[in-house]
Amino acid sequence: MTAKKPKKEDKVKELTETVQRLQADFENYKKRTEKEKQEFVNYACQNIVLDLLPILDNFELALQHTKNQEEFVKGIELVYANFIDVLEKKGLKQINSINKEFNPVIHEALMQEKSKESPGTIIEEFQKGYMINDKVIRPTKVKVAKR
């Protein structure tokens, strides 16, 4: 009988050590994945900043032409076009709302006004709304027609 007890104690000790190793491995895994996630976020931010640097360059060029109104306006228009292009390449989509039916998922009604349009139709945008890859990141602020 005494021979069986050490075997049970050895088995318990072996299982305890296995559980402790598994816990340590899991903790290391969690730390490693958290570090990888942070590195991914940092890398993604770096890529966005790199894409925005040409826009910064164009702003600087436009600001050098503040004395020439026409050149300055052209420069600002170029910067705007470049900025929109970079954002669209990152998945940004503008929500077009004028003359569309109000949808509380993508619109935020700030006002209602009597109109010849059918009730619930958007008659004015106060602030553009945007989506990234079919997810609303900012709803369009609108005025809605009522009876």
**Tens digits of residue pLDDT in 128-144:** 999 998 899 999 999 99
Quote the CA–CA distance of 31 and 26 in Å, as a whole number: 9
132 and 91 in contact (C-beta within 8 Å)? yes
pLDDT, tens digit (0-9, with 9 covering 90-100), for 82-118: 999 999 998 999 999 999 999 999 999 999 999 999 9
Q: Is the pLDDT of residue 5 over 70?
A: no
Name the CATH topology of 92-147: Nucleotide Exchange Factor Grpe; Chain A, domain 2 (2.30.22)
Q: Is 31 helix (H, G, I), strand (E, B) or coil?
A: helix
Q: What would the pLDDT profile of 31-77 be if each residue is shown by its tens digit?
A: 999 999 988 888 878 888 888 999 999 888 888 888 888 888 888 99
- Measured CA to CA, the distance from residue 117 to residue 101 in angstroms comes to 10
- Superfamily for domain range 1-90: GrpE nucleotide exchange factor, coiled-coil domain (3.90.20.20)
What residues contact residue 126 under an 8 Å CB cut-off, 6+ apart? 110, 141, 142, 143
